[in-house]
C-alpha cells in the first residue's frame, strides 16, 4: 500500500458559486478517491484526496482547471496524515 497518497489542498481564484464542489464530488468519485470538499469563508475551496498516488496526482491536475466557469489562480498542496472516511463527501462550508 506504499503507493497511497493523502493530500489537503486549497484552491484559489474564482472557485465559489461556479459549481466547484459539485464538480469535485463528481471527479473524485469517478477517480475512486476517498476524501471531502468544502467551501471556506475566505472564498477558497478546501479538499482532501486519498488514493493511489497517480490517481491523486491526476485529480490535482484536474483541480488546476476546475469546472468551466471557474478561474483557478493557484492550488496549494500539503501532505496530510489523517485518513478520510471511505467515499467522497461534501462537508458544510467553513
Contact 71, 20 (CB under 8 A): no
Residue tagged active-site, from 39, 40, 64, 71:
39
Strand 34-39 and strand 88-90: the pairing is parallel
**Active-site residue, 38 included:** no
Catalytic site includes residue 21: yes
- The whole-angstrom separation of Cα 27 and Cα 30 is 5
Residue of 8, 21, 71, 91 marked active site: 21
Q: Which positions are annotated as active-site residues?
A: 21, 39
Amino acid at each position: 500500500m506504499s503507493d497511497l497518497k493523502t493530500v489537503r489542498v486549497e484552491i484559489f481564484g474564482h472557485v465559489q458559486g461556479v459549481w466547484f464542489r459539485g464538480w469535485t464530488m463528481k471527479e473524485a468519485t469517478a477517480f475512486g478517491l476517498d476524501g471531502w470538499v468544502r467551501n471556506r469563508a475566505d472564498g477558497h475551496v478546501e479538499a482532501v484526496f486519498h488514493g493511489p498516488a497517480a490517481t491523486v496526482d491526476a485529480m490535482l491536475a484536474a483541480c488546476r482547471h476546475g469546472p468551466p466557469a471557474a478561474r483557478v489562480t493557484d492550488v496549494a498542496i500539503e501532505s496530510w496524515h489523517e485518513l478520510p472516511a471511505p467515499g467522497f463527501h461534501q462537508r458544510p462550508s467553513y
